Amino acid sequence: MKTIIKNGKLVTAEASFLSDILIEGEKISQIAESIDTDDAKVIDAAGKLVLPGGVDPHVHLHLEMAGTVSSDDYYTGGKAAAFGGTTTVIDFVSQGSGSLEESVRAHRRFADSTTSIDYGSHMNITHFDDQVAEQIAGLPELGISTIKVFTAYNDRLRIKDGDVFKAMRVAGQNDILTMVHAENGDVIDILTKEALEAGHTQPIWHALTRPGWGAVEASLRAFALAAQADAPVYLVHMNMAGEVDQLKYARSKGVYAMGETCPQYLFFTEENLQQPDGAKWICSPPMRSRNDNMGLWQGLEDGIIQVLATDHCPFFFNGQKAIDYEGEKVAIPGKELGRENFTQIPNGLPGLGDRMPVFWTHAVATGRISPERFVALTSTNPAKIFGLYPQKGCLQPGSDADIAIWDPNLSVKYGVDIARHRTDYNLYEDWNLKGMPVMVMQRGKILVDHGQWFGKPGQGRFLQRLSGEVL
């Protein structure tokens, strides 16, 4: 089967230019100013932009937390991703009581049968010993080239700094990238205990008990540990302007350091947690201030931050009330679980489908960044860093035909119905957006066509990732 996308303006991380694209089977086979063949289906993209499908390297699908589970699984999350122009996601494998390989195999048994788009995996390291160290070295054979460690969530996810150093060193010796969730777990535990003892249970105390300085301090600690381990490091969900300063400093000193931020940290603040529906904005790390919003924007514009991800981990706002999803009633316990205690509110937000349209409107349509920089942040850079390039993240002969045909003039009033996440709210409800994907393809197959969904459970594939690049 051949398909030609004609008359569109291709946008890559390097340049924009008018060209046709020939797709044969699952791959892009030719890019030229004019392509004609008698036996091909023709898609006319006149007046549209042709972008590589987005790559979101930070999502949590079907994640068990706080007595419930995140409301998007691999099928519904993939659907939401595709409607927003994203065709590849990377999730996290929780470390179980057995070997790392057993954890990966168990994760894949569920994900492979349900995923509607292509996905990869990171490996969480939440307990560490010599045996785990040996197993980290074998992760590339399982298609995994990244681990994640935490400096928060004491007695649950966090490992000691010395073990973080050891894990980083093993990872670096095996061309594995270490990702770090940077907060100060000790301070969080103290402040949370004090807040509850004082009767402070409202959502705003989620932010007040996780001080921003803890993230800044922990980010520098992560970079310092990586420098001493001579290993690359990637800071997830940067939410503080001070983290941008630390990343810039580390890179200036020759540390192999990179970072991401997420749309929620560009637009929202602690003030949102003080609203009557403040639980909707509960995530870790929390929202900060307007100054932090601006500092993160500047980090994206200046190239200090390499990736825009989402940390997508949605929960119902009111899981006692069912929503209609593909003709069925669905209700999953959600943020109402913490109605009387902020520590019981499941931490996480929907965002997978929102990332590209919201960012395009406020970054490209406003002239803040170029279309090429948009593609770099949302697709090409994550593909390179996480070992998927040039299979993903670009428009090149030989690459997977993951393509978003983008209408830069399409205006919509955005919200939960357009976003397609399997949850009951959207952070960007009633926002006016300009610039949306109208057709999205994965490996040459149409997933979304002007609001119609053609994806199916299990049609996505697990991606065997290679070692990535340090950008």
What is the tens place of the pLDDT at every residue in 196-219?
999 999 999 999 999 999 999 999
CA 209 – CA 362 distance, rounded (Å) = 31
Res 66 pLDDT > 90: no
**Are both 36 and 68 inside the same structural domain?**
no
CATH number at residue 278: 3.20.20.140
Work out the percent of the chain whose per-residue pLDDT is above 70. 100
**φ, ψ for residue 84 (rounded to 5)?**
-100, 5
Per-residue pLDDT at 1: 85
Per-residue pLDDT at 282: 98
Entry pTM:
0.97
CB atoms within 10 A of CB 186: 13
**Are both 413 and 280 inside the same structural domain?**
no
Per-residue pLDDT at 465: 97
Domain of 18 in residue numbering reads as 2-51+395-453
**Are both 139 and 283 inside the same structural domain?**
yes
CA 89 – CA 176 distance, rounded (Å) = 18
**Are both 29 and 86 inside the same structural domain?**
no
Res 422 pLDDT > 90: yes
**Are both 411 and 360 inside the same structural domain?**
no
**Are both 362 and 427 inside the same structural domain?**
no
Specify the number of domains making up the chain: 2
Res 28 pLDDT > 90: yes
With b for 16 or more beta-carbon neighbours within 10 A and e for fewer, the 26-45 pattern comes to: bbbbebeeebeeeebeebeb
CA 11 – CA 15 distance, rounded (Å) = 6
**φ, ψ for residue 92 (rounded to 5)?**
-120, 135
**Per the domain annotation, does 390 fall within a domain?**
no
**Are both 78 and 40 inside the same structural domain?**
no
Determine the average pLDDT of the residues in 100-118: 97
- At residue 320 the predicted structure's pLDDT band, cuts being 50, 70 and 90, is very high
**Per the domain annotation, does 203 fall within a domain?**
yes
Per-residue pLDDT at 281: 98
CA 121 – CA 111 distance, rounded (Å) = 10
Per-residue pLDDT at 238: 98
- At residue 51 the predicted structure's pLDDT band, cuts being 50, 70 and 90, is very high
Helix axes 100-114, 130-137, angle to 10 degrees: 50
**Per the domain annotation, does 468 fall within a domain?**
no
**Domain closes at, from 320, 347, 380:** 380
